[in-house]
Structure 1
Amino acid sequence: MPESLQTYEQAIEYLFGRINYERVHAEAYSTSDFKLDRMRLLLELMGNPHERIPVVHVAGTKGKGSTCSMLSSIFKACGYRCGLYISPHITAFEERFTVDGVQPSQSELVELVNRLLPTIAEMDNLPGRMQPTYFELATALAWQHFVDRKVDLAVLEVGLGGRLDSTNLCRPLVTVITNISRDHTHVLGSTLHQIAYEKAGIIKTGVPVISGVGPGEAREMIEQTSCERQAPLTLLGRDLELIERRTASQGISQIDVRTPTSLWKDVPIVLRGPHQATNATLALAVVDELRTRGWSLPDAEVKSGLQGVSWPARVEMIAQSPTVIIDAAHNWESARALVAAMREEQSHSKRILVFAATKDKDVAGILQQLLPQFDTLILTRYRDNPRGVSVEDLSGLVETMSTRPAHLAPDPLSAWTLAKRLSGPDDLIVITGSFFLVAELRETILAEANQATSCVTTDKFVATPVSASSGR
């Protein structure tokens, strides 16, 4: 255990050296590895920063990150200082905890980690597997940063499941469960009932719940848990209605929504895909719930906040000619949402898929949805995580599902280079299947687009710069 860390690189290396379940194959751990005892003690030794900040707590299989980003942008537009905690990050660790959209500086991160070192050392010496994990430390750093920045409230995205997630010691004003489908089945369970039980674990006694979970056993679990804990439940399709969604130009749409207390008209949605209308509907329900508690959230500022949302790597268009979209779809539900979003894109001469996947995901289910949508398939494996599926295994799986031949690329950069060579200016390139794939390629592609001038051709690739906030 170092006495102190001098540089940003040392701080990051120290954090990445902790047990990190984001980079461990699912078969190597189970629910016994996730316990709130460690997190509870860690926060207690820090002075319980989580008890000083009101929270909107968001879980779900798909859409929880987008909903969190919408809420954070809304609160900022309404004049509140808002902390946002998300996972995983795309490029830099500090993306996980921001205040009003601003990451802590590298020096601030070093200082935050150094302040935690004595507490970590104390816990590391305790018996009973009390050594804090990477995700637990990330959550603790977020809490400390939010206290330091004197936020008015925080929006927390659940990392895994809900019941045993490190964020679940918060004191929420309202909880949100966006939807539920199969993901992380090794930890959360193989049935929707079991997965819903884990996600319903964020429901607190007497705390209102906003749910976008559709009819079926998962919703029954949410209803049952809310009833048992006397938590008022607002259900999409019962108490909450997305009346209409109208597609406008350049990926922007408008929605009309009815909540139990309001009728919202002409609400702008800048994130691509019809699923974002549902996420925005849940966010508006949260707004109205907080209004009943005295929070000042005027209509105009709420709409302004939604107009200014930025959410990287979620059906994000990062270049044109050809159009390049990256999306961190890594489960069945997110792949379905990506396909629905693609249907609204302008027609393209050819569609090229660059795909990599993680071993413990439903890779077959994801590919079943994606393969029919593309003319050309490039399979690869990301480099920076041992959980990646080999290109040979991906190729074998594709052969059982399609007669279309696939190109194999040993790494993401090779896959991107091949995609450029195979594409023309009127084509579409979609890069998806994993956060890790997107993380390895996003900055490279943005750098190329920013360096290029309009109508400069390189390797049959015409890069027209797209602003960093465009189309997210």
Structure 2
Amino acid sequence: MFHTYEEALDWIHSRLRFGIKPGLKRMEWMLEKLGHPERELKAIHVGGTNGKGSTVAYLRSILHESGYKVGTFTSPYIEQFNERISVYGKPIPDQAITDMTNVIKPLADELEATELGSPTEFEVITAMAFYYFAKENPVDIAIFEVGLGGRYDSTNVIEPLVSIITNVGMDHTQILGNTIKDIAYEKAGIIKRNTPIFTAIKLNEALAVLQEEAKNKHAKLFQLGVDFFTSNYKPIDNGEQFTFSSNKLRFEKLELSLLGQHQTENAAGAIAALLYLNKTGHIEVKEEHFRAGLKKAYWPGRLELLSKSPTVLIDGAHNKEGLQAFAAAIKSRFQGREINIVFAALKDKDLTEMFGILNSMEADLYLTQFDFPRAASAVELKDMSGNPNAKIHHDWPQLLKQLISSSKPDELIAVTGSLYFISEVKPYLSEVLQTTKR
């Protein structure tokens, strides 16, 4: 029995020692013991390599504007652990974590004694989310973000109203496979029989895999550029503007607060999915809800501008596709400014192409490290970078403090790389910037 939040969290994090164990049997075992809470939920399932979190944010915000009580399950966290399970966009209370850990731990102990073995940290948290949204604090709609891949991800026990696959890129290759086709196959595993699937995938090789899976499952596939469209893109002062259209309607001059042209595609997938649910009578959402929800949607750590004076931006660009979006946003919004990039990454990432993007940017590059088991050291990053001008700095808090204190009015400090790095950086930067406001 856990009496405090700290005790409960320590136990949850202790499950990290079991690593990543793809498969659904442990989840199915725990959920059966819990009375199958996942079957009581109206759910939306969101997978993909990049853009999952932003898509969840758009879905949640639009549904909130329409008056629905929405639960979201996301990973990893940026500011606090509890945000992984949220209701109305607010992280669940510490006491709820403690209470649910007391429900799940006896099951984890029992499961450990079977041939299935111990549940992982992610499986434990996923089971907690199902239980919380169905039993403890019932929601109208639950949105589940895939943790890794899709086919054997812990979240893939749900039968959603719709599924969304944002895109496919080369990430987690040591688990998902070394080709786009292999990775697309794993992502396509969330497609369920007779359940519509929405996607913004552009790569033909990945799209072919999705089309085949959708055909086999008799799932209607809705594609960006075929069934719904974005146009008239324009960066505006505090975000992005674009037009969404489908065969039957058109929303002009939609505004987003999240930065980057790629966000218009994430938003379009969310709009298309919700329009389908509107049409089929599962929800009722009006145009004004779409407009207000898109503008209010917030997702920490993704091209997030923490300060304008000094100009400080953070972005969890943890793979090639993420860094491409990062570079494009920097080019469109900060052209002609002096740019400092602070970068840290996990050593199990394919960093060659990532450094190709970073090295092509007209910026001073600082390589650093952070306290995480899989993090690359600053020296390792320098060796992989192929950039003789990249600067090594082992102490990232000291580096950021120096850059902020010496920054000029037209200078940009952009911190990017691993989301785990960003989750450490953001609270520190918020505190430093509070004391250095100009």
TM-score range, shorter chain: over 0.9
Q: Pick from 403, 418, 434 the counterpart of residue 419 of structure 1.
A: 403
CA contact (8 A) 1:66 1:276 kept: yes
2:213 corresponds to: 225
2:227 corresponds to: 239
Q: Pick from 393, 415, 418 the counterpart of residue 409 of structure 1.
A: 393
Displacement, 1:414?
2.6
Matches within 5 A, 1:289-308: 289-294=276-281, 295-308=283-296
* Separation in structure 2 between the aligned mates of residue 19 and residue 313 of structure 1, nearest angstrom: 23
SS in 2 for 1:387: coil
CA contact (8 A) 2:240 2:260 kept: no
2:430 is the alignment partner of 1:446: yes
Gapped runs of 5+ residues in structure 2? none
Identity of aligned residues (%): 34
Q: Pick from 350, 358, 371 the counterpart of residue 362 of structure 1.
A: 350
Closer, same or farther in 2 for the Cα pair 1:348/1:5, shift >3 Å? farther
Q: Pick from 190, 194, 198 the counterpart of residue 182 of structure 2.
A: 194
SS in 1 for 2:317: coil
1:352 corresponds to: 340
Amino acid at match of 1:35: G
How many residue pairs match? The answer is 436
Q: Pick from 65, 86, 90 the counterpart of residue 53 of structure 2.
A: 65
Q: Pick from 315, 329, 336 the counterpart of residue 324 of structure 2.
A: 336
1:391 corresponds to: 378
Matches within 5 A, 1:27-106: 33-106=21-94
1:433 corresponds to: 417
* Separation in structure 2 between the aligned mates of residue 73 and residue 10 of structure 1, nearest angstrom: 33
Query: What are the Cα deviations for residues 411-463 of structure 1, in whole angstroms up to 9, with x where unaligned?
Result: 3213313423553232101111111211111001112223444x2xxxxxxxx
2:266 corresponds to: 279
Query: What are the Cα deviations for residues 225-269 of structure 1, in whole angstroms up to 9, with x where unaligned?
Result: 00111000111111111122122222x222111124422222111
SS in 1 for 2:414: strand
1:469 corresponds to: none
CA contact (8 A) 1:262 1:288 kept: no
- Structure 1 segments (4+ residues) deviating >3 Å: 346-349
Closer, same or farther in 2 for the Cα pair 1:371/1:214, shift >3 Å? same
Query: What are the Cα deviations for residues 186-220 of structure 1, in whole angstroms up to 9, with x where unaligned?
Result: 11000111000000000000000101111411000
Closer, same or farther in 2 for the Cα pair 1:286/1:224, shift >3 Å? same
CA contact (8 A) 1:379 1:415 kept: no
* Separation in structure 2 between the aligned mates of residue 285 and residue 150 of structure 1, nearest angstrom: 26
* Separation in structure 1 between the aligned mates of residue 13 and residue 388 of structure 2, nearest angstrom: 41
SS in 2 for 1:159: coil
SS in 2 for 1:287: helix
Matches within 5 A, 1:136-147: 136-147=123-134
2:112 is the alignment partner of 1:115: no
Amino acid at match of 1:216: N
Q: Cα RMSD between the aligned structures?
A: 1.5
1:464 corresponds to: none
Q: Single out whichever of 115-124 and 41-50 deviates more from structure 2.
A: 115-124
Displacement, 1:348?
5.3
CA contact (8 A) 1:348 1:427 kept: no
Amino acid at match of 1:210: F
Closer, same or farther in 2 for the Cα pair 1:214/1:85, shift >3 Å? same
2:16 is the alignment partner of 1:19: yes
CA contact (8 A) 2:344 2:417 kept: yes
2:251 is the alignment partner of 1:264: yes
Query: What are the Cα deviations for residues 276-334 of structure 1, in whole angstroms up to 9, with x where unaligned?
Result: 00111111101111011111011101211111111000000102222111011110000
CA contact (8 A) 2:69 2:141 kept: yes
2:120 corresponds to: 133
CA contact (8 A) 1:261 1:288 kept: no
When normalised by structure 1's length, the TM-score is 0.89
Closer, same or farther in 2 for the Cα pair 1:346/1:335, shift >3 Å? closer
Gapped runs of 5+ residues in structure 1? 456-472
* Separation in structure 2 between the aligned mates of residue 259 and residue 20 of structure 1, nearest angstrom: 47
* Separation in structure 1 between the aligned mates of residue 225 and residue 161 of structure 2, nearest angstrom: 22
Displacement, 1:177?
0.7
CA contact (8 A) 1:353 1:374 kept: no
* Separation in structure 1 between the aligned mates of residue 116 and residue 32 of structure 2, nearest angstrom: 17
* Separation in structure 1 between the aligned mates of residue 268 and residue 173 of structure 2, nearest angstrom: 28
Displacement, 1:103?
1.1
* Separation in structure 1 between the aligned mates of residue 388 and residue 395 of structure 2, nearest angstrom: 23
SS in 2 for 1:181: coil
SS in 1 for 2:333: coil
* Separation in structure 1 between the aligned mates of residue 405 and residue 435 of structure 2, nearest angstrom: 19
Matches within 5 A, 1:365-376: 365-376=353-364
CA contact (8 A) 1:156 1:167 kept: yes
Amino acid at match of 2:189: G
Query: What are the Cα deviations for residues 71-129 of structure 1, in whole angstroms up to 9, with x where unaligned?
Result: 01111111110011110111321110101111111112111111222222211221232
* Separation in structure 1 between the aligned mates of residue 436 and residue 377 of structure 2, nearest angstrom: 33
Q: Pick from 150, 157, 168 the counterpart of residue 180 of structure 1.
A: 168
